[in-house]
A and B are shown apart, each in its own frame.
Chain A
Amino acid sequence: DVKVTQSSRYLVKRTGEKVFLECVQDMDHENMFWYRQDPGLGLRLIYFSYDVKMKEKGDIPEGYSVSREKKERFSLILESASTNQTSMYLCASSQGATGELFFGEGSRLTVL
């Protein structure tokens, strides 16, 4: 069974903390994505990567960075968490230019 695993389902952090969200896929997919999901706003793309050590900004990259040192792993980093980054974060992977996205179960982050 294909699998995208996000390391933490629920996190609570304080304003100003550095936050790491980890995502691992076992399908040897080229492409990996980080989305943010908020009620009434749907999914918004933060960053994506189509190869190891490559990254591209999505629609809302401000306040975030990413790292992809290995093909199977894509990390989202909040350098200094703020309350407006409280949200559900979804990682996904895909193969090819227009391939189906496979999603992890999400990481719900609360910043106090």
Chain B
Amino acid sequence: AQSVTQLGSHVSVSEGALVLLRCNYSSSVPPYLFWYVQYPNQGLQLLLKYTSAATLVKGINGFEAEFKKSETSFHLTKPSAHMSDAAEYFCAVTMNSGYSTLTFGKGTMLLVSP
């Protein structure tokens, strides 16, 4: 079984501040982990993914995430928020074992103020 918990349904930051969106997972086998972003009235697009290579993963738009097995975490960070980062962010997990579908977290809405 696999599941994802995103802490905080809403996160507010000021433009230029650090962005930290939290994701914890549970998986019975080594996981593949993903972060997706959804801008208003659009589908989801991939930000970055972890597939058991480097534990620090860099994605698009300056985002990165670190896989920490001991903490079962995959938190998303960006050093300096931009107004255009305002969107909903979803963490997702799938098992690195045979065929498995993606399980999504409930999402975190990032609000960026000037």
In the assembled complex, the Cα of A43 lies from the Cα of B38 at a distance in Å of 12
How many Cβ-Cβ contacts under 8 Å join chain A to chain B?
Answer: 52
A48 within 8 A of B: yes
8 A Cβ contacts from A34-50 to B: 35, 40-45, 48, 50
The range of chain B's interface size is 20 to 34
Q: Binary interface profile of B, 85-109, with partner A (CB < 8 Å = 1, else 0)?
A: 0000010001110111111111100
The range of chain A's interface size is 20 to 34
In the assembled complex, the Cα of A45 lies from the Cα of B98 at a distance in Å of 18
Q: Binary interface profile of B, 1-25, with partner A (CB < 8 Å = 1, else 0)?
A: 0000000010000000000000000
* A48 in contact with B34 (CB, 8 Å): no
Q: How far is the CB of A6 from chain B (nearest CB, A)?
A: 8
* B44 in contact with A90 (CB, 8 Å): yes
A62 within 8 A of B: no
* B43 in contact with A98 (CB, 8 Å): no
* A4 in contact with B105 (CB, 8 Å): no
CB<8 Å pairs between A and B, sample of 22: A4-B43, A40-B9, A41-B106, A42-B104, A42-B105, A42-B106, A42-B107, A43-B90, A43-B104, A45-B101, A97-B99, A98-B32, A98-B94, A98-B95, A98-B96, A100-B34, A101-B36, A101-B46, A101-B102, A105-B41, A105-B43, A106-B43
